[in-house]
Amino acid sequence: MEKRYVIKGTVRIGDFVRIMMNADDIVQEKNSLNPFEMIKNMQGMTEELQVKAVLLQAPDTITIPYDEWNEHKYKIGDIVKINMTPEFD
């Protein structure tokens, strides 16, 4: 499975670089503003906004060797794709 991310920051830690990133959702559901639906589902809307706020404050991170980072020179705003494959013993 491949997932798109937008790089939000990089930090060098010795021989490694930590990359902070947020998921890049190309297609998002359009929220229509229906006042009656908002009143009925106020708690659901509040919980959804809280989850989004937490995700923005705690980005995903990966750590890669400095040599790999130096080859590609990842910077803030770059879009990267990460391929995730399950590994079974």
Domains (ranges, CATH) in the chain? Answer: 2-25+34-80 (2.40.50)
Rounded Cα–Cα distance for residues 45 and 35 (Å): 12
For 53-86, b/e burial (b = at least 16 CB within 10 A) is eeeeeebeeeeeeeeebeeeebeeeeeeeeeeee
pLDDT value, residue 64? 92
For residues 75 and 10, the answer to whether their CB atoms sit within 8 Å is yes
**With a threshold of 0.85, does the pTM exceed it?**
no
Q: Kindly provide the residue ranges of all beta strands, DSSP E only, lying in the chain, ordered along the sequence.
A: 2-13, 16-23, 60-65, 79-83
pLDDT for 18 beyond 70: yes
pLDDT number for residue 15? 94
Could you give the angle at the alpha carbon of 48 between the alpha carbons of 76 and 80, nearest 5°?
Answer: 25
For residues 82 and 45, which has the higher predicted lDDT (pLDDT)?
A: 82
**Does residue 2 have a pLDDT over 90?**
no
Model confidence at 13: pLDDT above 70: yes
Q: What is the structure's pLDDT at 89?
A: 66
What span, in angstroms and rounded, lies between the C-alpha atoms of 24 and 38? 26
